């Protein structure tokens, strides 16, 4: 069934991104409504909508705003348009086609939080989108929607675009703030949280593009409408992305809580797989959330979720809670990349590990070394020189990094661990089969080629290729954890 | 690995060109936007790279002087971000996305075709100075995979067969839209900003 397009009402080929079009579609009415309210009322109102952040973590925006200290004079709003999570592109689609929806959200959020300056941190790869959004900002200034005394309310706010230069970790809120301050995009140790001490040591709110774009619609259509969409803890509408070998890759809007199967096969969504292939695996929330088994596996009997069995998991609901039941980190950005049955799972593993080893900022040892280590392990598995216990080794590395054991500054190592963990856990039979098909001495030859010391040193005694070496945890210990 | 500087396999031979007064003025125009001068770092580097094609050592020193920082602080930032080049680059920089969606749709073949056609590897420049090539992690256009970015312009669903035409096309890097005046005048006190 087709859902009403709210955020994406203007997202089509040849759509006009001008202020005229946006106003004709009823734009900037929510702003008038908001300016008639008191800022604190507005915060309470958004709290009532339980508008959970669309950027990945799912933290409610209204609650975030209420953390700001009450006696502040300067507040900054950072808009996170550093959309770098593969394969997410919904913010790009939104900013390209309806930049004023984002601007209206920014002005309302700015008014609610008494923001003085809003910075849109946009990734450097967005060039066309940058020009579109900059033009929209110019239009808004000319129309008195930004600058001094917005719409005669006495509220002043400036809005600037700040362009990034290619770093995934700048999508993390404190990394973004550091980058805005003109430093390396190194995430900060929290607390203090940005709401207390953020940009230039002032209270700061960081919100995702899509989160802010939802705000005007909640105001015009009301809480009842908003809370009528979605599932129990996940309210509202969401832009889903689907890419990979599907018939209609793209961005589609639906209320939260559609199934992964619908996103891939629905005729209003992905439109099914190319050449009627089956799905091997899908990462339903961006690659850092982890992978689900596809429909090349048999259907589960009784419909009970059991991640230890090789069953079709495409019935996973795309809301903020259900993915956790399938061993995933969360909903993430609700961007699905679909992997067809003819793809070698080793290539997927290699690609994902390469991404995270490339994007780790290098501050925390276990992330810097762990992502690089996993990348090297994945490379040798892909090249046909893996060892059976490399799979245990990967599982072990993923257990020893990230915020979940409380070892890292930001969530990147968790995002690196979950896809690897779920891939190794869910596709272990295939990995084992592939490694079993290798030539018997492949691992030994590769080690002699790449790092002879690991084989030759008397103390190591060729242990690098021994079936029992390589990991610090026994399989029993791994199971217990 | 953003903690490893990819583009600094060798030290630049000389300090390279510095920034002209006009470019410095452009950078100064960003100062009112931020509380600190240091925050102008990224815009300043973008402006400098646009003006002289890469970030030379001389440009780093000039920016450091403008922002009242030690030059090492500027180099520290330059080497973190993948978009800043510390060596001269070609007129057109081809960026191939190699993330999962693009790889599934054939980015490997595209990358191989570019590398064989131009005879250069990742982060290298052709001897005639026309093309540079680099890979990029996710260009956020996964619905149009595989994508290739030529300077500012995104090319969607690129196949190796289209490559010859694309390389021969002189306008392959031009965006078919009016350029914004962001780098010319800051917002705020000046209401007329030339649209």
Residues A170 and A114 in one domain: yes
Angle at A309 between CA A472 and CA A370, to 5 degrees: 30
Residues A138 and A95 in one domain: yes
Residues A32 and A178 in one domain: yes
Do residue A244 and residue B3 have CB atoms under 8 angstroms apart?
A: no
* In the predicted structure, residue B192 carries a pLDDT above the cut 60: no
Chain A residue nearest residue B79, CA to CA? A184
Phi, psi for residue A324 in degrees, rounded to 5: -60, -30
Q: Say which residue the tokens 């996964």 belong to.
A: B142
The per-residue pLDDT for B4 is: 60
The CATH number of whichever domain residue A285 belongs to comes to 3.10.20.600
The per-residue pLDDT for A246 is: 94
Residues A214 and A156 in one domain: yes
Q: Where in chain B is the domain with CATH 1.10.10?
A: 21-78
The per-residue pLDDT for B188 is: 38
Do residue B2 and residue A360 have CB atoms under 8 angstroms apart?
A: yes
- For A227-259, b/e burial (b = at least 16 CB within 10 A) is eebbbeebbbbbbbbbbbbbeebbbbbbbbbbb
The per-residue pLDDT for A447 is: 85
- Report yes or no: A207 and A109 within 8 Å, Cβ to Cβ: yes
Beta strands in A359-481 (DSSP E): none
**Model confidence band, residue A373 (pLDDT cutoffs 50, 70, 90):** very high
* In the predicted structure, residue B190 carries a pLDDT above the cut 50: no
Q: CA–CA separation, B119 vs A406, rounded Å?
A: 46
Residues A162 and A67 in one domain: yes
Residues A476 and A351 in one domain: yes
Residues A41 and A144 in one domain: yes
DSSP A155-220: --BEEEEEE--S-GGGGSHHHHHHHHTTS--PPPPSSSPTTTS-GGGS-EEEEEHHHHHHHHHHHH
Sign of CA dihedral A244, A251, A205, A127: positive
pLDDT digit string, tens, across residues A7-65: 898 888 888 899 999 999 988 999 999 999 999 999 999 999 889 998 888 899 999 99
* In the predicted structure, residue A479 carries a pLDDT above the cut 90: no
Total domains in chain A come to 3
Fold annotation for B92-168: Glutaredoxin (3.40.30)
| Residue A435 placed within a domain | yes
Residues A242 and A377 in one domain: no
Q: What is the mean pLDDT of residues A96-121?
A: 94
| Residue A1 placed within a domain | no
Residues A278 and A376 in one domain: no
Residues A411 and A351 in one domain: yes
Q: What is the mean pLDDT of residues A104-118?
A: 94
CA distance B76 to chain A (A): 7
Beta strands in B98-144 (DSSP E): 124-125, 131-136
Chain A residue nearest residue B69, CA to CA? A182
- Report yes or no: A134 and B182 within 8 Å, Cβ to Cβ: yes
pLDDT digit string, tens, across residues A204-262: 999 999 999 999 999 999 999 999 998 888 899 999 999 999 999 999 999 999 999 99
Chain B residue nearest residue A199, CA to CA? B35
Note whether A344 contacts B: Cβ–Cβ < 8 A: no
* Residue A37 or A475, more confident: A37
| Residue A35 placed within a domain | yes
* In the predicted structure, residue B54 carries a pLDDT above the cut 80: yes
Which H or E run includes A371? helix A365-382
Q: Pairing between strand A76-81 and A117-122?
A: parallel
The per-residue pLDDT for B9 is: 58
- The CATH number for B21-78, chosen from 3.40.50, 1.10.10, 1.10.1060, 1.10.357, is 1.10.10
| Interface mutation target, options A20, A99, A243, chain B, most CBs of B under 10 Å | A243
The per-residue pLDDT for B189 is: 38
Q: CA–CA separation, B105 vs B114, rounded Å?
A: 16
* In the predicted structure, residue A469 carries a pLDDT above the cut 60: no
Residues A66 and A179 in one domain: yes
Residue A170's domain spans which residues? Answer: 19-227
Q: What is the mean pLDDT of residues A287-313?
A: 87
Residues A72 and A219 in one domain: yes
- What are the residues facing B125 on neighbouring strands? B132
pLDDT digit string, tens, across residues B18-51: 999 999 999 999 999 999 999 999 999 999 998 9
Do residue B1 and residue A180 have CB atoms under 8 angstroms apart?
A: no
- Report yes or no: A179 and A185 within 8 Å, Cβ to Cβ: yes
Residues written for chain B: 195
């Amino acid at each position: 069934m087709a859902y009403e397009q709210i955020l994406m009402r203007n997202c089509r080929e040849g759509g006009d991104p001008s202020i005229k079009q946006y106003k004709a579609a009823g734009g900037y009415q929510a702003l008038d409504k908001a300016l008639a309210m008191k800022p604190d009322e507005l915060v309470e109102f958004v709290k009532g909508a339980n508008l959970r952040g669309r950027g990945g973590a799912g933290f409610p925006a209204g609650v975030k705003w209420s953390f700001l200290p009450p006696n502040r004079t300067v507040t900054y709003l950072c808009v996170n348009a550093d959309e770098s999570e593969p394969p997410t592109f919904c913010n790009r689609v939104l900013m390209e086609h309806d930049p004023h929806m984002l601007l209206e959200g920014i002005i309302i959020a700015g008014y609610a939080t008494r923001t003085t300056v809003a910075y849109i941190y946009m990734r450097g790869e967005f060039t066309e989108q940058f020009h579109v959004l900059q033009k929209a900002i110019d239009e808004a200034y000319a129309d008195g929607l930004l600058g001094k005394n917005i719409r005669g309310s006495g509220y002043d706010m400036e809005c600037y675009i700040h362009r990034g230069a290619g770093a995934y970790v700048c999508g993390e809120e404190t990394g973004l703030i550091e980058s805005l301050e003109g430093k390396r995009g190194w995430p900060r140790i929290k607390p203090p949280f940005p709401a207390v001490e953020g940009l230039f040591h002032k209270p700061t709110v960081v919100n995702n593009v899509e989160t802010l774009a939802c705000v005007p619609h909640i105001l015009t259509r009301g809480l009842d409408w908003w809370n009528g969409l979605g599932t129990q803890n996940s309210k509202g509408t969401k832009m889903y992305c689907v890419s990979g070998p599907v018939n209609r890759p793209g961005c589609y809007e639906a209320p939260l809580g559609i199934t992964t199967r619908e996103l891939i096969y629905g005729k209003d969504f992905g439109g099914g797989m190319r050449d009627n292939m089956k799905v091997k695996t899908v990462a339903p929330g961006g690659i850092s959330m982890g992978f689900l088994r596809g429909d090349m596996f048999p259907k589960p009997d009784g419909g009970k979720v059991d991640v230890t069995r090789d069953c079709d998991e495409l019935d996973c609901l795309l809301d903020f809670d259900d993915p956790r039941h399938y061993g995933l980190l969360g909903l993430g950005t609700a961007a699905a990349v679909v992997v067809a049955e003819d793809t070698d799972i080793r290539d997927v593993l290699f690609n994902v590990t390469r991404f995270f080893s490339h994007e780790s900022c290098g501050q925390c040892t276990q992330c810097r070394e762990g992502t690089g280590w996993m990348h090297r392990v994945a490379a040798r598995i892909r090249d046909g020189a893996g060892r059976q216990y490399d799979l245990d080794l990967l599982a072990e590395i993923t257990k020893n990094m990230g915020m979940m054991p409380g070892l890292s500054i930001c969530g990147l190592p968790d995002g690196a661990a979950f896809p690897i963990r779920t891939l190794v856990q869910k596709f272990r039979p295939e990995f084992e089969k592939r490694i079993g098909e290798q030539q018997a001495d492949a691992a030994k030859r590769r080690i002699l080629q790449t790092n002879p010391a690991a084989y030759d040193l008397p103390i190591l005694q060729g242990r690098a290729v021994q079936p029992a070496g390589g990991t610090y945890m026994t399989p029993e210990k791994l199971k217990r954890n | 690995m953003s903690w490893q500087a990819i583009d600094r396999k060798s030290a630049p031979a000389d300090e390279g060109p510095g920034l002209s007064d006009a470019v410095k003025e452009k950078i100064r125009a960003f100062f009112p936007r931020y509380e600190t001068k240091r925050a102008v770092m990224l815009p300043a580097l973008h402006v400098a790279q646009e003006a002289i094609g890469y970030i030379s050592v001389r440009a780093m020193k000039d920016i450091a002087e403008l922002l009242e920082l030690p030059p090492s602080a500027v180099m520290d930032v330059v080497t973190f971000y993948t978009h800043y080049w510390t060596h001269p680059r070609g007129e057109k920089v081809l960026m191939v996305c190699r993330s999962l969606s693009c790889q599934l749709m054939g980015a490997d073949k595209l990358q191989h075709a570019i590398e064989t056609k131009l005879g250069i590897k990742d982060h290298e420049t052709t001897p005639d100075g026309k093309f540079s090539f680099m890979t990029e992690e996710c260009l956020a256009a996964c619905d149009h995979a595989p994508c290739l970015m030529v300077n500012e312009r995104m090319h969607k669903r690129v196949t190796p067969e289209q490559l010859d035409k694309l390389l021969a096309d002189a306008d392959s890097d031009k965006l078919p839209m009016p350029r914004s005046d962001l780098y010319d005048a800051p917002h705020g006190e000046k209401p007329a900003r030339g649209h």
